[in-house]
């Protein structure tokens, strides 16, 4: 039975390099036998805004998932989560941050036990981020590299304790050549093939 992957893509421009990376991820996973749920947040019109009522109901497990139940179901059906996004201003695009805010809810990605966060996405055994940075890795390091830390720490924490994690980043996109981009796409494809 094929493994099921949720691919979450967050970039508004279809001719962007992020879109090319998204295509590489989807095609590589399909070629190695994964069953893909391809979630293009912009194309699907996902709203990143956590509403007043959603915040009020945040800890009410009987209703907190109602506004985003379809996305919760897709996340719960996956064995792997692949995130494809650019880093903007040393953070996620707002639409991806909103996905985490609205879908990674109590009872979904985590549970509170005596006021402490405990992992709840036991179904996610593979976590991969594919991203680009406009600046150099040194600039990202000096800024604390929040996107890398968030993926490899809090997002990783709420998944299965044996989760395989990969964070694939092309830094210095502002000066990247076509050769740099092609090499990075190959790196992404080869890394994903080894996960099969």
Q: What is the largest CA-CA distance in the chain?
A: 52
How far is the C-alpha of 171 from the C-alpha of 88, rounded, in Å?
12
* % of the chain with per-residue pLDDT over 90: 96
Can you give the length of the chain in residues?
196
Pairing mode of beta strands 164-170, 35-40: unpaired
Print the domain residue range for 172: 4-195
Local confidence band at 115 (pLDDT 50, 70, 90 cut-offs): confident
Kindly report the CATH number assigned to the domain that includes residue 129: 3.40.50.360
Does the pLDDT at position 1 exceed 70?
Answer: no
How far is the C-alpha of 101 from the C-alpha of 7, rounded, in Å?
17
* pLDDT tens figures, 145-180: 999 999 999 999 999 999 999 999 999 999 999 999
Give how many domains the chain has, as a whole number: 1
């Amino acid at each position: 039975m094929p493994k099921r992957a949720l691919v979450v893509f967050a970039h508004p421009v279809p001719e962007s390099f992020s879109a090319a990376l998204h295509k590489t991820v989807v095609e590589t996973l399909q070629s190695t036998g994964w069953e893909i749920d391809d979630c293009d947040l912009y194309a699907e019109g996902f709203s990143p805004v956590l509403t007043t009522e959603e915040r009020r109901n945040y800890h009410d497990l009987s209703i907190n998932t109602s506004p985003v139940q379809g996305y919760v179901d897709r996340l719960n059906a996956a064995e792997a989560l692949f995130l494809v996004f650019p880093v903007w201003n040393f953070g996620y695009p707002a639409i991806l941050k909103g996905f985490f805010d609205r879908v990674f809810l109590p009872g979904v990605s985590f549970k509170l036990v005596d006021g402490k966060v405990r992992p709840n996405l036991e179904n996610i055994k593979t976590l991969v981020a594919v991203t680009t940075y406009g600046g150099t890795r040194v600039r990202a390091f000096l800024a604390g590299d929040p996107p890398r830390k968030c993926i490899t720490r809090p997002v990783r924490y709420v998944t299965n304790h044996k989760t395989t994690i990969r964070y694939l980043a092309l830094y210095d996109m502002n000066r990247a050549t076509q050769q740099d981009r092609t090499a990075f796409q190959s790196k992404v494809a080869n890394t994903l093939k080894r996960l099969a």
